[in-house]
Chain A
Amino acid sequence: DGGITQSPKYLFRKEGQNVTLSCEQNLNHDAMYWYRQDPGQGLRLIYYSQIVNDFQKGDIAEGYSVSREKKESFPLTVTSAQKNPTAFYLCASSRQMTNSYEQYFGPGTRLTVT
């Protein structure tokens, strides 16, 4: 079955440490996205990538970094510069990044930084 996998489901880190969240898709989608979800809020776009080796900042990119070396993979690094990193992180993908194609979401990673 095609889909998006995110690992791990729960992640705990100490303040000051960088942490990398995994996102893999086998849907053969060109576009991939990272969102952050906080309690009682909608999703906010962190980074997106339309094709391999290219990515763009979203609305809240500060303190985050990404790479897109393979079509299937779009890892997100939460750096120590992110002031409030505890959140639920969702990865998504779409066939292309146009209004014609809906986004499909992974199960999410809940990151807790203490």
Chain B
Amino acid sequence: GNSVTQMEGPVTLSEEAFLTINCTYTATGYPSLFWYVQYPGEGLQLLLKATKADDKGSNKGFEATYRKETTSFHLEKGSVQVSDSAVYFCALTGGGNTGKLIFGQGTTLQVKP
């Protein structure tokens, strides 16, 4: 079945540093890919998504490109802020058109002033 692997955290950066959180996937067919963010004590919020190869999702300065050739969907941001400190989850839709999501284990980002 479909699966997703994220880089392990925690990731600790200084404010204004460049962020990359790696996400690779295994899938049959053409899944949709997502990044969700979870702030402390809260639910998940959709950060960005991409539904087909070469699509770039972007939101709040974050970007990720759906790379079918490398089966990757890495999350990037050019200049992180303290307020970006959170847990980031990569997810993809399961096999078939079921709408089910499969989540990575999450990567904790801590940004220091």
User: Which residues of A pack against B, CB within 8 Å?
Assistant: 4, 6, 31, 40-43, 45, 48, 90, 92, 94, 96-108
Contact = CB atoms under 8 A, between A and B. Distances in A.
Interface of B: 31-32, 34, 36, 41-46, 49, 51, 89, 91, 93, 97-101, 103-106
A99 B98 contact: yes
A31 B41 CA distance: 24
A103 B101 contact: yes
9 contacts: A40-B106, A43-B89, A45-B100, A48-B100, A99-B31, A100-B51, A101-B99, A105-B36, A108-B41
A41 B106 contact: yes
Nearest to B105: A42
Contacts, number: 58
A20 B49 CA distance: 32
A107 B43 contact: yes
A94 B44 CA distance: 14
Contacts of A105: 36, 43-45
A98 B99 contact: yes
Q: Which of B41, B44, B45 is packed against the most chain A CB atoms within 10 Å?
A: B44
Given A45-B100, A97-B98, A97-B99, A102 B46 contact: yes
